[in-house]
Structure 1
Amino acid sequence: MPIIPRLIAYAAEMFGAPPPREEATANDEPLAAVALLVHVARVDGTLAPVERERLARLLVGRFAQTEAEAEAVIARAIDVDDEIRDVADLVAMIGRDASETERRNLLGMAWAVAAADGRVHEFEDDLVWRLGQLLGFDETQIAGARAVALAALPGREATA
């Protein structure tokens, strides 16, 4: 179990509080990954419909089998994101066992969510760069993931 959920469970036990709900602690790594993507989408204060649609499409086949399942995962991830103070906590919840390919895919998905409205805004750009660093990538790798993800967006102007 990642450190943050263990600390939350320990504090609940020490202070007599009920144990946290499973989904609220992001005990599973996929939920933490989706919460990261939700965090990227909401960095401007809202989860716009176009961002939610892009996120749901990205989840099908990776973290969910159907669009309805993707919507349920997004709802749980919103709750997790609401409880987390820092994106670094979400990265820590993913665990150190995530392969470079999994981390690179997550970074690409973050860029795709950030560009869902056709443009990567300054806050989104800063957040996804920080996320890339927290995932262990250098500036060149982050820029490469950004270029690949944004080039895959058909007919969209995805500029900073």
Structure 2
Amino acid sequence: MSLISRLRTYASEAFGIAPSAVEAEIDEEHLAATALLVHVARVDGVLAPKEAERLARLVRGRYADSDAAADALIARATAFDAETRDIAMLVERIGREGGTGERARLLAMAWSIAGADGSVDEFEEALVWRLGKLLGLEEAAIVRAREEGLAGRDGAGPA
């Protein structure tokens, strides 16, 4: 739990203020991961309805337990992405505790979003490939994540 999250919890307990369900604690790593996914969804300049739907499904399946929580996380992640100069800054906020498997799963989710509209354009391809490198994955792992993500086996729950 982050320092900010602990302070919010302390304040809500000390002053008897219950946080709203939508404003419930958002993990910083989940926020950064979702911001990366938002960035991928918007890199070609168009957030296609299929990409938005896929993004919501993936976030709900992996980082949020309800539609409202997923919507709130995506809204915060969109603002966070807009404030961030480079995806490398977002990657830095993602911890390494989850290991290679977690990073590969995130990359598969990114590939899934990139291909949600039926094709992966050159901007999406370059961005997601770079993301894999920034996540510390080897080429073989990036290729596997691409295959899984584009085949719909993104590890975030049912399609």
TM tier relative to shorter chain = 0.7 to 0.9
The number of residues matched between the two structures is 131
Contact 1:27 1:93 in 2 (8 A): no
Across the aligned residues of Structure 1 and Structure 2, the Cα RMSD in angstroms comes to 2.1
Aligned-pair identity (%): 59
**Aligned counterparts of 1:105 and 1:134: Cα–Cα separation in 2:** 14
Classify the secondary structure of the residue corresponding to 2:62.
coil
**Aligned counterparts of 1:56 and 1:149: Cα–Cα separation in 2:** 15
Which residue in 1 is equivalent to 2:118?
118
Which residue in 2 is equivalent to 1:37?
37
Measured after TM superposition, the shift of residue 27 of structure 1 is 7.3
Which residue in 1 is equivalent to 2:88?
88
Classify the secondary structure of the residue corresponding to 2:61.
coil
TM-score by length of 2: 0.76
Structure 1 unpaired stretches of 5+: 3-22, 154-160
Measured after TM superposition, the shift of residue 147 of structure 1 is 1.1
Contact 2:100 2:137 in 1 (8 A): no
Measured after TM superposition, the shift of residue 98 of structure 1 is 3.2
Q: Would you identify which runs of 4 or more consecutive aligned residues in structure 1 move more than 4 Å?
A: none
Which residue in 2 is equivalent to 1:55?
55
Classify the secondary structure of the residue corresponding to 1:61.
helix
**Aligned counterparts of 1:50 and 1:151: Cα–Cα separation in 2:** 15
TM-score by length of 1: 0.75
Classify the secondary structure of the residue corresponding to 1:60.
helix
**Aligned counterparts of 1:37 and 1:72: Cα–Cα separation in 2:** 14
**Aligned counterparts of 1:99 and 1:144: Cα–Cα separation in 2:** 16
